[in-house]
């Protein structure tokens, strides 16, 4: 079914879904920011810095530009049509049912891989207090708790996640303030202001060359990944046209300031080589280095809670995406089963089982698991971002052909989405070129192929059953 540009658009799976438009603009913005700010920034930034050195700032700036273009393109379609299916729905209507199914499946894969990486990182963060605890154990305990909670009831995140997002944003802002004071006062440099010295004196700005820059890109992509959930929330927001436009206008800029700004301050405040000999988060290390152990422990706790919150949301969102988009006869009937609490328990168990693979990988390779799994999730999100840009171009073309004036058009079209696609392809090439992330990207590509084959087989089988019935 193609998008109806002449009247009120209808969507697949949107008949009597019962969604209540009660989410406010402030909740939308903070949920989007809070959903992105997690272990990917707090912990992943440290790993990315170890790979790229100070040049990781380029990775963050480029990925920030990609996110800005993707979100602006998604905003154009969302303001016209705020539905809970969002980009998978747009892909279904504009690019075909198979593309919509694959996109939904890749987003499920993204959440599974993201939760895997977050659980692995949480295990490393716990080492701040208990170095003897194996990295896989905290993740296993957290996964069991999340699975039980998701089976018991459908959680309403709303106001609770809003305030938790506030906590995470405050943690980043406090870090930036302390880092700026260290730079200006020279607390680690005998009282002489540091300014930009640490960006180039320790083996240069590109200590590991272009390859290091390429290796860091997958971790930075994953740090930004998930911001597109802002569009998914639009199906449940009050006054979607006004609130969606306001949220999209502000969230990208705020995330860019928090991400690029905090990483820039971190790299200026102390030598990037300091991170090589330390595991854990640079946000924690800063407070530990200046002699505030209580603050360091508190920030570490906030980071762990941030990761746990993201994991719980990821298991919830991944299971619902699987529940809503599986196609084909018996398997569809099994995954679509609800328990007495109206929870898709089979989808929850399948998603949790997929995430548990990450626990096994963490047990086998605790030092490399975060990079491996993160690069796989980065590929999945690159796919989703690419589909968003292609969908927007088709959407705009059909709108122009129908002579319709859009409410929130992408500026400088089609140069803007084309630039976004070029940057996405460049990022994908960088991930493939890196020997550290190449193997895990193949896992994402293999899953994409499996989704395509599954949909081809199921479509053919359903067509054959329909022909025999007639």
pLDDT(199) > 90: no
pLDDT(17) > 50: no
Q: How far apart are CA 200 and CA 206, in angstroms?
A: 8
pLDDT value, residue 368: 65
**344 neighbors 320 (Cβ within 8 angstroms):** yes
Collapsing DSSP to helix, strand or coil, 107 comes out as helix
pLDDT value, residue 95: 93
Q: Which structural domains are found in the chain, ordered by start?
A: 25-403+413-462 (1.20.1740.10)
pLDDT value, residue 414: 92
Q: What percent of the chain has pLDDT over 90?
A: 10
What is the token pair recorded at 458?
Answer: 């199921």
pLDDT digits (tens, 9 = 90+) for 39-71: 666 766 777 888 888 998 999 888 889 988 998
Let me know how long the chain is. Answer: 470
pLDDT value, residue 192: 62
Mean pLDDT for 113-130 is 80
Q: Which residue has the higher pLDDT, 115 or 1?
A: 115
364 phi and psi angles, rounded to 5 deg: -80, -35
Given pLDDT bands bounded at 50, 70 and 90, which one contains residue 157? very low
Alpha-carbon torsion (340, 342, 344, 349), positive or negative: negative
Q: Which residue has the higher pLDDT, 399 or 322?
A: 399
pLDDT(26) > 80: no
pLDDT value, residue 197: 83
Q: How far apart are CA 260 and CA 48, in angstroms?
A: 13
pLDDT digits (tens, 9 = 90+) for 306-339: 777 777 777 777 777 777 665 444 555 666 666 6
Give me the DSSP letters along 144-163.
HHHHHHHHH-----HHHHHH
Q: What percent of the chain has pLDDT over 70?
A: 73
Mean pLDDT for 251-260 is 77
Given pLDDT bands bounded at 50, 70 and 90, which one contains residue 19? very low
pLDDT value, residue 32: 59
pLDDT digits (tens, 9 = 90+) for 337-382: 666 666 677 888 888 888 888 788 777 776 666 667 777 777 888 8
What is the token pair recorded at 299?
Answer: 């920030």
pLDDT value, residue 215: 81
What is the token pair recorded at 210?
Answer: 């272009």
What is the token pair recorded at 161?
Answer: 């996640």
Find the largest Cα–Cα distance for the chain. 85
Mean pLDDT for 246-259 is 75
Q: How far apart are CA 124 and CA 134, in angstroms?
A: 8
Query: b/e per residue, 224-256, with b = 16+ CB within 10 A?
Result: bbbbbbbbbbbbbbeebeebbbebbeebbeebb
pLDDT(73) > 70: yes
Given pLDDT bands bounded at 50, 70 and 90, which one contains residue 80? confident
**421 neighbors 386 (Cβ within 8 angstroms):** yes
Helices 282-289 and 293-325, axial angle in degrees (round to 10) = 170
Q: How far is residue 66 from each of residues 31, 72, 167, 229, 385, measured CA to CA in Å?
A: 20, 10, 26, 16, 9
Mean pLDDT of the chain: 76
Query: b/e per residue, 353-382, with b = 16+ CB within 10 A?
Result: ebbbebbebbbeebeebbbbbbbbbbbbbb
What is the token pair recorded at 415?
Answer: 């140069």
pLDDT(233) > 70: no
276 phi and psi angles, rounded to 5 deg: -65, -40
Distance, C-alpha 182 to centroid of its chain: 31
Mean pLDDT for 204-227 is 82
What is the token pair recorded at 376?
Answer: 């796989």
Collapsing DSSP to helix, strand or coil, 291 comes out as coil
pTM confidence score: 0.80
pLDDT(13) > 50: no
Give the count of beta carbons closer than 10 Å to the beta carbon of residue 15.
Answer: 7
Q: Distance between terminal CA atoms of the chain?
A: 23
């Amino acid at each position: 079914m193609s998008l109806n540009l002449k009247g009120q658009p209808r969507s697949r799976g949107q008949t009597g879904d019962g969604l209540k438009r009660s989410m406010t603009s402030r909740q939308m913005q903070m949920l989007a920011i809070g959903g992105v700010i997690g272990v990917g920034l707090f912990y992943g930034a440290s790993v990315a810095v170890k790979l790229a050195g100070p040049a990781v700032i380029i990775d963050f700036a480029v990925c920030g530009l990609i996110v800005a273009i993707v979100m602006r393109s998604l905003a154009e379609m969302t303001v016209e049509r705020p539905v809970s299916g969002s980009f998978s729905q747009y892909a279904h209507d504009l690019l075909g049912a198979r593309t919509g199914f694959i996109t939904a499946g890749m987003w499920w894969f993204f959440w599974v891989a993201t939760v895997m990486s977050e659980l692995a990182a949480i295990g490393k963060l716990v080492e701040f207090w208990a170095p003897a605890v194996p990295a896989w154990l905290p993740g296993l305990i957290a996964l069991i708790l999340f699975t039980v909670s998701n089976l018991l009831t459908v959680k309403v995140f709303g106001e609770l996640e809003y305030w938790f997002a506030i906590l995470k944003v405050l943690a980043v802002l406090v870090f930036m303030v302390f880092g700026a004071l260290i730079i200006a006062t020279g607390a680690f440099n005998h009282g002489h202001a540091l300014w930009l010295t640490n960006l180039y004196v320790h083996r240069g700005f590109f200590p590991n060359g272009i390859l290091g820059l390429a290796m860091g890109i997958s971790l930075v992509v994953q740090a930004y990944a998930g911001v597109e959930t802002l569009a998914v929330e639009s199906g449940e927001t009050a006054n979607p046209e006004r609130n969606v436009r306001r949220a999209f206008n502000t969230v990208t800029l705020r995330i860019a300031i928090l991400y690029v700004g905090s990483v820039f301050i971190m790299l200026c405040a102390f030598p990037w080589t300091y991170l090589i000999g330390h595991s854990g988060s640079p946000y924690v290390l800063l407070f530990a280095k200046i002699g505030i152990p209580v603050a360091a422990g508190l920030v570490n706790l906030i980071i762990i809670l941030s990761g746990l919150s993201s994991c719980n949301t990821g298991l919830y969102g991944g299971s619902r995406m699987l529940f809503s988009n599986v196609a084909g006869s018996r398997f569809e009937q099994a995954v679509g089963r609800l328990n007495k609490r109206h929870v898709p328990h089979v989808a929850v168990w399948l998603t949790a089982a997929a995430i548990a693979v990450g626990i096994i990988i963490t047990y086998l390779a605790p030092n490399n698991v975060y990079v491996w799994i993160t690069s796989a999730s980065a590929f999945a999100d690159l796919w989703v971002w690419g589909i968003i840009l292609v969908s927007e171009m088709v959407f705009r073309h059909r709108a122009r052909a129908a002579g319709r004036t859009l409410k929130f058009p992408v500026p400088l079209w089609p140069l803007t989405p084309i630039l976004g696609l070029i940057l996405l392809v460049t990022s994908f090439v960088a991930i493939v070129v890196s020997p550290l992330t190449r193997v895990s990207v193949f896992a994402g590509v293999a899953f994409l192929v499996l989704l395509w084959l599954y949909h081809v087989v199921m479509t053919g089988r359903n067509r054959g059953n329909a022909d025999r019935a007639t």
